[in-house]
Amino acid sequence: SPWRWGLLPLSPVLPERGGRLFFSTSCARCSKNRRLRQKRVISERKLTRYFVDHRKVRVVGGQGGGGGHSFYSEPRKIFGGPDGGNGGDGGNVILKADQQVKSLSSVLPFYQGFHGERGGRKNCYGANGACLYVKVPVGTLVKEDGKVVADLTQHGEEYVAAYGGAGGKGNRFFLSNENRAPTFFTPGEPGQERVLHLELKTTAHAGLVGFPNVGKSSLLRAISRARPAVAAYPFTTLNPHVGIVQYQDYEQVAVADIPGLIKGAHQNRGLGMSFLRHIERCRFLLYVVDLSVPQPWIQLEDLKYELEQYQKGLSERPCVVIGNKIDLAESRINLPLLKEQIGDRVIALSALKGDNLEELFLHLRELYDTYVKTEQSRGQSPVKW
């Protein structure tokens, strides 16, 4: 349908069909007057396998191959001397950022590099162990003992998580004038062993920011194919979800449903810090407020305060205010009051009924195009999904 692509002009009209008044700022034929498509209900507990933002991993480098122990002997050259080659080095375990990977759910709790081969006869060195590459999403933080050791923010960026052990020396290495027939050789060294904590900071273009039960998950389900858990009773999303909004020119805008914040989130109340780190890398923000509550502009002030306390300047990023639940009677009374109290643009919609989503699609694309132009003017490549 045309509203899906956000390509239609805006005109303030309130169409009336079937005896019910629909709220929409577009023309009558563009307003969405049907129920949103039903999606399979998945519990929040089962959704943890779809998006994982932290993982504890033990990595061990490959063990080096042992040195060879042999002596060269052939007809008419019986005492040819030692010819045991050195062993190969063990393989490294390397974390590699890949933009095709969106979650840490595929990362296993243990990785070990490939071992090096043992040294052979005739001074043949053992082969080195192959490197083991572990693909992680772009935006992964690597921590060890609470300290950040790597920040993989670009596609293809690599970090050596564990080095492989050095290969052992063969008996040919210990040949000297004092010892013409050495029998000594060394085994390969064990690989480096580390315990790392991987944390994912969502690199979505837009972040849905709001308090619990304002309808962020319902809105993400309405504009994308993401399926965060929703229900008719109050609860909060426990895991962040990312939905993709597709446009007719094949551009894709990633929108992240950040779990609901509470007052004091910057002091790590509840799970504040784990939620706020996902907002840190969003290029622009979508503040979602509940229009049905008294004085909804207080919600916006509290949200900006929490973001500013977490990171200075975070609340000043390009944004738009989304007033949800416009289908309720009390919301229509609070909408003009909200516009008077704040200076930002307000998009009033209903995530449940699907009213006025086309205006959100249009403005979301405007924010995305502005971000792309800004990055290109700086000589940097914008994040693509």
Domain with CATH 2.70.210.12 in the chain: 51-201
| Residue count (the chain) | 385
Supply the pLDDT for residue 335.
86
Name the burial class of residue 146, with classes exposed (0-12), middle (13-18) and buried (19+) by CB atoms within 10 angstroms of its CB. Answer: exposed
CATH topology of domain 51-201: Spo0b-associated Gtp-binding Protein; Chain: A, (2.70.210)
Bridging pattern class, strands 20-21 and 140-144: unpaired
Instruction: Give ranges for CATH 3.40.50.300 in the chain.
Output: 206-378
Q: What pLDDT digit, counting tens, does each position of 156-213 carry?
A: 999 999 999 999 999 888 888 888 888 889 999 999 999 999 988 766 788 888 887 7
The pTM assigned to this predicted structure is 0.65
Which CA distances in Å does 126 have to 91, 112, 269?
13, 19, 55
The pLDDT, as a whole number, for residue 304 is 83
pLDDT lower than 50: segments of the chain: 1-26, 28-29, 31-36, 44, 47-49, 233-235, 264-272
Query: 19-36, pLDDT tens digit by residue?
Result: 444 444 445 445 444 444
**Rg of the chain (C-alpha set):** 29
Which pLDDT belongs to residue 108?
93
Could you tell me where the DSSP H helices lie in 280-344?
Answer: 297-310, 329-341
Q: Taking the domain 206-378, which CATH number applies? A: 3.40.50.300
pLDDT tens sequence across 129-150: 999 999 998 888 899 998 999 9
